[in-house]
Amino acid sequence: MAGSDLFVGTLDVLILKAVSWGPIHGYGIGRWIRQTTRDALQVQEGALYPALHRLERKGLLEEEWGVSETGREAKYYRLTTAGRGELRAAVTRWRDYAHAVTLALDTTGR
């Protein structure tokens, strides 16, 4: 995942979020993650493409070939109904988890 090997498991929710505003291709998803996190998160392609196929197999994403902004062939992804539900659930899970970890790291005594 990140440039300095960080926390496994957040890639899926980030992908679902990136796709939530309508069709976007894989390469664009990688760019979106990098940009919106101001280079804090960097997705390796070797993690990105397998993740997309995984999410498609799970029925959370649908794919369709199209033409990118630069006039090139690109595979566009879009959320299924299940994908939209999973996005909501995953965001909630992330918030709960992040809150719990922060709670622990913020305690000032045993």
Partner DNA sequence: TCGTATACCTTGTTCACTTAGGTATTCGCG
Partner DNA sequence: CGCGAATACCTAAGTGAACAAGGTATACGA
CA dist., res. 79 & res. 55, Å (int): 10
Which of positions 15-74 make contact with DNA (CB under 7 A)? 25-28, 31, 43-47, 49-54, 68-74
Lay out the sheet containing 73-79: strands in order across.
24-25, 73-79, 61-67
Residue among 25, 26, 30, 41 that touches a second copy (CB under 8 A): 41
The DSSP secondary structure of 48-86, one letter per residue, reads HHHHHHHHHHTTSEEEEEEE-TTS-EEEEEEE-HHHHHH
- The answer to the question of residue 17 lying near a second copy (CB under 8 A) is yes
Could you tell me how many residues of this chain bind DNA (CB under 7 A)? 34
Kindly indicate which of the ranges 46-54, 57-65, 70-78, 99-107 contains the residues binding a second copy, using the contact rule CB under 8 A: 99-107
Binding site for DNA (CB under 7 A): 1-2, 5-6, 8-12, 25-28, 31, 43-47, 49-54, 68-76
